[in-house]
């Protein structure tokens, strides 16, 4: 018999949330096989079983908060059902000789045999009972057919008994009348909210703006994109241009590439650029390491790999730790202008926005040009207006003359 224990995750992470049980009581598990997925403040971590056997007991349900070192499941000796098989009926459970009434094991109270055969997590069964939902009517997202809490919530709820409905108060409208829906914040969303609030409270944050005429960089990209793809097997986007321009500007204005440590200003002599990526779980910022040493193709490939890992929820803590400056692109969602919030202890973040054609004075003529507003949010305790304006001006000049950027990188 072996305990499944929440492993050491990272120096700053002491707890996590059970995101999904990959095995259920009675399931066979091999040594080294994943048994549970934990959601932490930064990334999701899959925990393996150190022993082969049968899952005999789950000691925490999906959605529960668990601490590092806590026992969350027990694997016993013997053989059991495969994870792809339907959940066994009560008689079959006795044949597997699993302990009676495991703490977090699914308790089958439904009278329908269809419900008995439905594969569902303990938390999903509990929520379905509370909402009066027949599990067999739910269409799970999981390709293996396992019903999770999210599936039950998305299915909607049947009328609940009067005794289970709290009396409405003047300050809290009833949630079962369809006017409101309560959703618990994920651990990652809670962390994002806390850290953003800390940044606003603990920094003297200001934002300055400029705009870039994207004509030349768009023309250069259009001319070179096919050749670039043939040579590098990666597409040429705007992010590599902006990353290179940011690195050049950071070298010119080193205080923008720094952080505060007590009463000291620590200037970074490296250029690890965070690229904000939007995921279903919230915004994450994986790092392009040593961006000053990478060419355009390497930067594009690196960003592509990190973005895919973020969307697939496969980022590791090392992918996101550190970073000296961040770039965020609200333009992909159509944002025309915004004031990005600083990332952690960094003192600067560049916000990109959507490209919009606008009438612009070119010499004594008015022309329609593709323009982008850019924003630099910065900590005024470290960076003065002169440096912040100069930083943006450098980024603007390099992107408006992209040939210079290519020659200098």
- Name the CA radius of gyration of the chain, rounded: 27
Listed residue (103, 102, 149, 104) closest to 130, CA to CA = 149
Grade residue 167 by pLDDT with cuts at 50, 70 and 90: low
Question: How many helices (H) does the chain have, and how many strands (E)?
Answer: 11, 19
Regarding predicted confidence, which is higher, 131 or 286? 286
Contacts of 310 (CB under 8 A, 6+ apart): 277, 279, 284, 286
Distance from the Cα of residue 366 to its chain's centroid: 43
Give me the catalytic one of 151, 380, 387, 404: 380
Q: Are residues 143 and 280 in the same domain?
A: no
- CB neighbour burial string for 116-148, b if at least 16 within 10 angstroms, e if fewer: bebbbbbbbbbbbeebebebeebebeeeeebbb
At which of 161, 177, 201 does a domain end? 161
Regarding predicted confidence, which is higher, 3 or 115? 3
Structure tokens at 60: 């925490």
Q: Distance between CA 61 and CA 20 in Å, rounded?
A: 9
- 254 phi/psi in degrees, rounded to 5: -65, -25
Mean predicted confidence (pLDDT) in 103-120? 48
Q: Distance between CA 72 and CA 56 in Å, rounded?
A: 11
Q: Are residues 110 and 37 in the same domain?
A: yes
Q: Are residues 17 and 154 in the same domain?
A: yes
Q: Distance between CA 316 and CA 336 in Å, rounded?
A: 32
Looking at residue 216, its pLDDT comes to 96
Q: Are residues 389 and 277 in the same domain?
A: yes
Q: Are residues 228 and 372 in the same domain?
A: yes
Instruction: Say which CATH number the domain at 327 has.
Output: 3.30.559.10
- 50 phi/psi in degrees, rounded to 5: -85, -10
Does residue 170 fall inside a structural domain?
A: no
Does residue 197 fall inside a structural domain?
A: yes
Structure tokens at 227: 């050749």
Q: Are residues 358 and 209 in the same domain?
A: yes
Grade residue 49 by pLDDT with cuts at 50, 70 and 90: confident
3-state class of 343 per DSSP? coil
Q: Are residues 283 and 197 in the same domain?
A: yes
Q: Say yes or no to pLDDT of 206 above 90.
A: yes
When divided into structural domains, the chain yields a total of 2
Does residue 286 fall inside a structural domain?
A: yes
Listed residue (94, 91, 98) closest to 77, CA to CA = 98
Looking at residue 105, its pLDDT comes to 39
Element (H, E) at 126: helix 122-131
Q: Distance between CA 98 and CA 106 in Å, rounded?
A: 12
380 flagged as catalytic: yes
Looking at residue 41, its pLDDT comes to 67
User: What does pTM read for this prediction?
Assistant: 0.64
Structure tokens at 50: 């150190």
264 flagged as catalytic: no
Q: Which of 88-92, 131-135, 248-252 has the lowest mean pLDDT?
A: 88-92
Does residue 169 fall inside a structural domain?
A: no
Q: Distance between CA 181 and CA 54 in Å, rounded?
A: 39
Q: Give CA angle at 392 (387, 394), nearest 5°.
A: 90
Q: Are residues 307 and 382 in the same domain?
A: yes
Grade residue 141 by pLDDT with cuts at 50, 70 and 90: low
Domain that holds residue 41: 2-161
Q: Are residues 104 and 54 in the same domain?
A: yes
Q: Say yes or no to pLDDT of 99 above 90.
A: no
Q: Which of 103-117, 213-227, 337-351 has the lowest mean pLDDT?
A: 103-117
Looking at residue 88, its pLDDT comes to 40
Grade residue 278 by pLDDT with cuts at 50, 70 and 90: confident
Compute the mean pLDDT over every residue in the chain, rounded to the nearest whole number. Answer: 82
Q: Distance between CA 129 and CA 205 in Å, rounded?
A: 49
Mean predicted confidence (pLDDT) in 80-96? 42
Q: Which of 63-67, 188-192, 249-253, 276-280 has the lowest mean pLDDT?
A: 188-192
Give me the catalytic one of 41, 116, 384, 387: 384
Q: Say yes or no to pLDDT of 315 above 80.
A: yes
Looking at residue 162, its pLDDT comes to 45
Instruction: Say which CATH number the domain at 101 has.
Output: 2.40.50.100
Query: Does residue 126 contact residue 132 with C-beta atoms inside 8 Å?
Result: no
């Amino acid at each position: 018999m072996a305990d499944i224990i929440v492993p050491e995750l990272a120096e700053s992470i002491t707890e996590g949330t059970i995101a999904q049980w990959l095995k259920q009581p009675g399931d066979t598990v091999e040594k080294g096989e994943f048994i549970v997925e934990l959601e932490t403040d930064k990334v999701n971590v899959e925990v393996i079983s150190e022993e082969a056997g049968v899952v005999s007991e789950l000691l925490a349900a999906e959605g529960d908060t668990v601490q590092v070192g806590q026992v969350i499941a027990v694997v016993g000796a013997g053989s059991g059902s495969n994870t792809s098989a339907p959940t066994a009926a009560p008689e079959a459970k006795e044949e597997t000789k699993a302990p009676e009434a495991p703490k977090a094991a699914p308790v089958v109270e439904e009278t329908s045999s269809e419900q008995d055969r439905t594969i569902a997590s303990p938390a999903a069964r509990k929520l379905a009972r509370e909402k009066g939902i027949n599990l067999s009517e739910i269409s799970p997202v999981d390709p293996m057919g396992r019903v999770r809490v999210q599936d039950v919530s998305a299915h909607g709820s049947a009328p609940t008994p009067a005794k289970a409905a709290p009396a409405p108060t003047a300050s809290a409208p009833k949630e079962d009348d369809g006017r409101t829906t309560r959703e618990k914040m994920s651990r990652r969303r809670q962390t994002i909210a806390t850290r953003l609030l800390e940044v606003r409270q603990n920094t003297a944050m200001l934002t300055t703006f400029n705009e870039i005429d994207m004509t030349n960089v768009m023309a250069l990209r259009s001319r070179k994109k096919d050749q670039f793809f043939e040579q590098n097997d990666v597409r040429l986007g705007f992010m590599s241009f902006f990353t290179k321009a940011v690195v050049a500007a950071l070298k010119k204005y080193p205080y923008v590439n720094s952080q505060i440590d007590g009463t000291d200003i620590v200037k970074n002599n490296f250029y690890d650029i965070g690229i904000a990526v939007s995921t279903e779980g919230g915004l994450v910022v994986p790092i392009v390491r040593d961006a000053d040493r990478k060419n355009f193709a390497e930067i594009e490939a690196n960003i592509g790999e990190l973005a895919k890992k973020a969307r697939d929820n496969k980022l590791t803590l090392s992918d996101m730790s550190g970073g000296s400056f961040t770039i965020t692109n609200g333009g992909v969602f159509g944002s025309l202008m915004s004031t990005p919030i600083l990332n952690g202890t960094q003192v600067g973040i560049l916000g990109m926005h959507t490209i919009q054609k606008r009438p612009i004075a070119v010499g004594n003529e008015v022309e329609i040009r593709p323009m982008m507003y850019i924003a630099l949010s910065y900590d005024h305790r470290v960076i003065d207006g002169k440096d912040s304006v100069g930083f943006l001006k450098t980024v603007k000049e390099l992107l408006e003359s992209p040939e210079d950027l290519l020659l200098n990188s």
